[in-house]
Amino acid sequence: MHHHESIQLRVDRLVRERLEPARERAAVPVRTEVWHVPDEPVPFAEAVRGSFAPVGAGEPWGRPWATSWFRVSGTVPEEWDAGPDDVELVVDPGFVGDSAGFQVEALVYDREGRTLKAIEPRNDYVRLGLGPGGTFEVYVEAAANPNIIGESTFEPSPLGRKETAPDRPLYALGRIALVHRDREVWELIQDVHTALGLARELPLASPRRAELFAALDAAVDAVAPHDVHGTAGLAREALRDALAAPAARSAHRVYAVGHAHIDSAWLWPVRETVRKCARTFSNVLDLMDQDPDLVFACSSAQQFAWIKEFYPELFERIRERVAEGRFVPVGGMWVESDTNMPGPESLARQFVEGKAFFLREFGVETHEVWLPDSFGYTAALPGIARAAGAEYFLTQKLSWNEVNQFPHHTFAWEGIDGSRVFAHFPPVDTYNSTLSPAELAHTERNFADKGRANTSLVPFGFGDGGGGPTREMMAAARRAASLEGSPTVRVAAPAAFFAAASAEIDPVPVWSGELYLESHRGTYTSQARTKRGNRESERLLHEAELWAATAAVRTGADYPVDALRRSWHTVLLQQFHDILPGSSIGWVHDQAEEEYRKVAARLEPLISDAVRTVTGTGGGERLWANASPFAIDGVPAFGVAPRRIEGEVTLEETPAGIRVTSDALALAFDGDGLISSLVDRATGREAVPPGRRAGLLQVFRDTPRRFDAWDVDVEYRRSGEDLTAADSVEVVTAGGERAVVRTTRTFGRSSVTQTFTVRAGRDAVDIETVVDWHESQRMLKLAFPVDVHTTTARSEIQFGHIERPTHTNTSWDTARFETPALRWVHVEDARFGVGVANDATYGHDITRHAREGGGTYSLVRQTLLKAPLFPDPQADQGTHTFRTSLVLGGVAEAVRAGYRLNMPLRPADGVPVEPLVRSGADSVVVETVKLAEDGSGDVVVRLYEALGAPVTATLGLGFDAGTAVETDLLERPVEPRCAVAQEPGAVTLTFRPFQLVTLRIPRAGA
């Protein structure tokens, strides 16, 4: 074995000292000039008119986020014995190390403005297609993107905003030269990497290992130190037999898919993502010209749409490769979104808009969900995916689990409604593979479903602006196609993998429920303004579609298709898995807030106009428009009517505190302004456990081990501080229609004002929490101890809810210490329940504790704020408002409270308006009312069963309707999944638990 170590030393030195320097047979300098763009990037047509000046190697350039254009020209020497494929321009704009995607990047254009290829640290060449005597002139657009993540130390950085970044150059221009490439030496380097890499992965006593080292030893002998170019072929011959030995019949089968995971924003702004896409896609097309075997998969319709808008010539070349089946759209979503926090209609629209784009532009129907990097996966996703026509699912992210290893790599994933998709987790444990022998060996060793299956997918290519697949990776794939001791490798499209993998495994193991990521739990909370912008924009889109559809049906008004689609595209982009989760630089979140403001400015007038169109003007009493699927204060769901409030609230101030009583509940505040008692008057049940107080604010230290904005580590629980002392407790409204109590508190450098409201006719306490937040590395929670003995809690997810254990019996339960929910969470025993609803909070923790007098109680906490320092050191500073509803009753009451809190009544004038549709069952919720995407004027209704039980329900129709048709999410007819019966004015449907249904209803006579 020591002999093998000696050979490895010989090989390493051969590569380092002889082969790498011999990649080039010759090199000559070129003429280089530069123009520094004054501010934001400019298009090619403007750049070529810049004032270029000579520049040389070593000259500093590029303040953070700046752009410089280099004009490079030269002539191929006549004496070079080089063909067109051997002459290349090598560009080093100032690389710092070889970190790909997190530093300077560049894109090369020809004189006509056609993109040629990108420049990255491990992909630094441009083929010129010239022979001896040929001349060229190209333009290099170089982006001085700062390396914010550094050495992964996660220290606060001023580089995340242009206004805080230092105004000094980041880079110094490196070598730019015309080179004569030695292809034989390059091929030898690839041979050596494969042989040596494979040998290192084999058992020490393996004969195959010994064979490879012997061949490598002979290859070193074959290379003459002073004639590397002339003897490289002899070295390749020495390795030939060892690299020709075929793989074993039982070898693991790898389907290698060219890929470049490009975060649509993260440590760079969205505008830079547009350029990263152009660079990577240019590389891919250039590599396809070189190598007919490359197949490249690309998700995110948004990224294709950017290229179509900003690089139309490049988009047309992509279209040609898509038609060939080599540039493959996958995933079918607008972006690779987060899946825990988008609302139900938003997650559906990710597929509607994504798949529609691919069908419209390429005629391609995608059948897989492609989310390698999102931070956990909602149990609603299989049902939504199936409703969109998808049947496969891929991610890699659960390999990041901190505690438990997921038991499968290939399985069927079952959602809350019983829908299943065929799922795969690449056992290579990366979506940026280089197809190295080490990665391939890990794939085979790690694959969890041996015996049942033997096939996996490996996405290969540098992501995030690293440039995608390289010719070195393709060389590695070719050498590993059938190689003894290694998995076999076939470069193919994802569809080929899924067909092979689903055919070989029987029976398919099933995983039911969410795919919870045991990491990055802080993403449910970080950057609260971005999260509020998402929730409010979802509300506005819901209202805009509902009232615009109502106006179109009732009055013939135009339906604002373009404004709605534009707004949806904005909101869907912000749901990308590093924007909505709050894990991007400050620039990204500043821009997100501005985009949400634009959405509001576009939709608010549209909603007001639509409501005014249907109500008219004048009339008697004040009206209210209700966009909720449930009646609120007597205003019918989806209708416009006066409020009708019954009952009265009384308030009494006593030496012990404040007592508030309504028909539904009796509430007591102690001297600190905390809820000491909450009694359900219908049952007499006390909701607050003995010795506990609800509405309690708690502050915790928040110093994760690694990723500030991403993570919440369980150790935070050791450092809690209860904010009990009140600066003031005052009665604002003493009774009648409502009673209002307000408290103020200060802590650290921050202050908080809480307003508690009890309204007549409601079984809830509404709480508004306004926080002026100036903490760092601290976390704020709002706690509700609930006198309910249970081992589970329910949390709303898209089109239903999920039940999670609140005990810690297993390591899986223990690791699930912070969980996401949409609009509400709920705990109950056999006879009594309490829900906690929110208007923009996603992070929760729900635990069980020993109760005074015996038994246990449940502790429900909302996580309101974090204060991470990385990647945005100013994250969440300033004023925030949170609205919470503490509601007594079952899950149905929690569902109603969630919609009420998120769809507040809108004031209106004129005459009442009857709803377009009415649900005849409390458990069947109408989520969306809109007009059809195809412009036909048909009414589209999306509805679901919300409580988890079969039900037959009637959907009342408030317009003259034709025959209702069940459709998929893209509004295409499907084989009925639920029984549909229709009579005048009504459609009767039979739902299974949590079933999602889309109905398309023509308007009679339209």
pLDDT per residue as tens digits for the range 591-628:
999 999 999 999 999 999 999 999 997 777 899 999 99
Amino acid at residue number 114? R
Give dist(CA 846, CA 824) in Å, integer: 12
Q: Are 833 and 788 in contact (CB under 8 A)?
A: yes
Tokens encoding 954: 């009637």
Sheet of 420-424, strand order: 368-370, 392-394, 420-424, 410-414, 510-512
Q: What is the pLDDT of residue 857?
A: 98
Q: Are 916 and 957 in contact (CB under 8 A)?
A: yes
Q: Are 91 and 467 in contact (CB under 8 A)?
A: no
CA angle 791, 895, 345 (to 5 degrees): 115
pLDDT band at 735; cut points 50, 70, 90: confident
Q: What is the mean pLDDT of the chain?
A: 96
Q: Average pLDDT of 91-111?
A: 94
Q: Which residue has the tokens 């307003």?
A: 755
Cis peptide before 871 (omega within 30 of 0): yes
pLDDT digits (tens, 9 = 90+) for 911-954: 999 999 999 999 999 999 999 999 999 999 999 999 999 999 99
Q: In a 3-state reduction of DSSP, which class is residue 305?
A: helix
What contacts 926, CB < 8 A, 6 or more positions away?
629, 637, 638, 917, 919, 941, 942, 943, 955
**Range with the poorest average pLDDT among 114-118, 553-557, 817-821, 978-982:** 978-982
Phi, psi angles (nearest 5°) of residue 294: -70, 130
Give dist(CA 830, CA 790) in Å, integer: 9
Q: Average pLDDT of 272-279?
A: 98
Q: What is the pLDDT of residue 1004?
A: 87
Tell me, yes or no, if 373 is annotated catalytic.
yes
Amino acid at residue number 447? F
Query: Among residues 526, 519, 516, 517, which one has the least CA distance to residue 581?
Result: 526
Give dist(CA 969, CA 798) in Å, integer: 14
CA angle 533, 537, 540 (to 5 degrees): 145
H or E element in which residue 444 lies: helix 437-446
Q: Are 981 and 969 in contact (CB under 8 A)?
A: no
Q: Are 736 and 860 in contact (CB under 8 A)?
A: no
Amino acid at residue number 221? D
Buried b (16+ CB within 10 A) or exposed e, 100-129: bbbbbbbbbbeeeeebbbbbbbebbbbbbe
Q: What is the pLDDT of residue 1?
A: 58
Strands 657-661 and 649-654 come out as: antiparallel
Q: In a 3-state reduction of DSSP, which class is residue 941?
A: strand
H or E element in which residue 464 lies: none
Phi/psi-derived region of residue 854, left when phi > 0, alpha when psi is between -120 and 50, beta in every other case: left
The alpha carbons of the chain give a radius of gyration, in whole angstroms, of 31
Q: In a 3-state reduction of DSSP, which class is residue 861?
A: strand
Q: What is the pLDDT of residue 878?
A: 98
Distances from the Cα of 720 to the Cα of 166, 702, 921, angstroms? 37, 10, 44
Query: Among residues 887, 882, 157, 899, which one has the least CA distance to residue 531?
Result: 882
Q: What is the pLDDT of residue 361?
A: 98
Name the percent of the chain lying above pLDDT 90.
96
Q: What is the pLDDT of residue 671?
A: 95
Q: Is the pLDDT of residue 781 over 80?
A: yes
What contacts 866, CB < 8 A, 6 or more positions away?
522, 525, 526, 582, 702, 709, 712, 778, 779, 875, 876
Give dist(CA 370, CA 337) in Å, integer: 10
Q: Is the pLDDT of residue 1006 over 70?
A: no
Distances from the Cα of 607 to the Cα of 60, 550, 570, 903, 938, angstroms? 53, 11, 18, 13, 20
Q: Average pLDDT of 219-237?
A: 97
Q: Average pLDDT of 452-459?
A: 97
- Return the number of other C-beta atoms located less than 10 Å from residue 28's C-beta: 13
pLDDT digits (tens, 9 = 90+) for 300-343: 999 999 999 999 999 999 999 999 999 999 999 999 999 999 99
- Cα end-to-end span (Å), the chain: 83
* 906 strand-pairing partners: 625
Name the percent of the chain lying above pLDDT 70.
99
Q: Average pLDDT of 723-736?
A: 95
Q: Are 544 and 627 in contact (CB under 8 A)?
A: no
Q: Average pLDDT of 157-170?
A: 95
Q: In a 3-state reduction of DSSP, which class is residue 961?
A: strand
pLDDT digits (tens, 9 = 90+) for 235-264: 999 999 999 999 999 999 999 999 999 999
What contacts 154, CB < 8 A, 6 or more positions away?
706, 707, 708, 870
Helix-strand-coil split of the chain, %, nearest 5: 30, 30, 40
Tokens encoding 936: 């036909």
Q: Are 111 and 47 in contact (CB under 8 A)?
A: no
Helix axes 270-290, 312-324, angle to 10 degrees: 50
Tokens encoding 518: 């045991």
Q: Is the pLDDT of residue 468 over 80?
A: yes
Q: Average pLDDT of 838-858?
A: 97
Query: Among residues 408, 523, 518, 407, which one has the least CA distance to residue 814?
Result: 518
Tokens encoding 126: 């441009």
pLDDT band at 98; cut points 50, 70, 90: confident
- Return the number of other C-beta atoms located less than 10 Å from residue 655's C-beta: 5
What contacts 689, CB < 8 A, 6 or more positions away?
785, 786, 787, 851, 852, 857
Q: In a 3-state reduction of DSSP, which class is residue 869?
A: coil
* pTM across the whole model: 0.97
Tokens encoding 178: 């015309």
Q: What is the pLDDT of residue 977?
A: 80
Q: What is the pLDDT of residue 937?
A: 96
pLDDT digits (tens, 9 = 90+) for 678-694: 999 999 999 999 999 99
Query: Among residues 323, 258, 324, which one has the least CA distance to residue 471?
Result: 258
Q: What is the pLDDT of residue 867?
A: 92
Give dist(CA 998, CA 1006) in Å, integer: 20
| Catalytic position from the list 110, 221, 291, 373 | 373
CA angle 922, 925, 930 (to 5 degrees): 145
Tokens encoding 337: 């979104």
- Return the number of other C-beta atoms located less than 10 Å from residue 734's C-beta: 16
Query: Among residues 741, 837, 832, 736, which one has the least CA distance to residue 787?
Result: 832
Query: Among residues 220, 221, 222, 213, which one has the least CA distance to residue 242?
Result: 213
Q: Are 716 and 863 in contact (CB under 8 A)?
A: no
Query: Among residues 776, 674, 779, 774, which one has the least CA distance to residue 718?
Result: 779
Distances from the Cα of 531 to the Cα of 713, 780, 864, 886, 1000, angstroms? 21, 16, 11, 21, 32
625 alpha-carbon distance from chain centroid = 33
Q: Are 739 and 757 in contact (CB under 8 A)?
A: yes
pLDDT band at 2; cut points 50, 70, 90: low
Phi, psi angles (nearest 5°) of residue 561: -60, -50
Helix axes 207-222, 2-13, angle to 10 degrees: 40
pLDDT digits (tens, 9 = 90+) for 8-29: 999 999 999 999 999 999 999 9
Sheet of 778-786, strand order: 721-723, 696-701, 778-786, 856-865, 843-850, 819-820
